[in-house]
């Protein structure tokens, strides 16, 4: 499942770094903190990987 926005991709990357022990979990805030708790490392990797050039900065809500 690819990220729908650059912000989502960046939050997933931060959560992934915390999950792997590269970054302290206490530094996480908001969505990245929730992602680290609720998603597996593989799910976070899928969200964080991929090209960012075609993604909007923020996802639109419908």
In this predicted model, what pLDDT tens digit does every residue of 12-47 receive, in sequence order?
Answer: 999 999 999 999 999 999 999 999 999 999 999 998
Please count the other Cβ atoms lying within 10 Å of the Cβ belonging to residue 11.
24
Q: Are 18 and 35 in contact (CB under 8 A)?
A: no
Scan for tokens 């990357």, then name that residue: 13
Q: Are 44 and 35 in contact (CB under 8 A)?
A: yes
Phi-psi group of 50: left, alpha or beta (phi > 0 → left; psi -120 to 50 → alpha; rest → beta):
left
pTM: 0.81
Scan for tokens 């770094």, then name that residue: 17
Instruction: Give the pLDDT score at 16.
Output: 95
């Amino acid at each position: 499942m690819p990220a729908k926005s650059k912000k989502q991709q960046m939050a997933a990357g931060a959560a992934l770094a915390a999950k792997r022990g590269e970054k302290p979990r206490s530094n996480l805030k908001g969505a990245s903190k929730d992602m680290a708790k609720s998603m597996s490392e593989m799910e976070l990797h899928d969200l964080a990987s991929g090209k960012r050039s075609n993604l909007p900065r923020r996802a639109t809500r419908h």
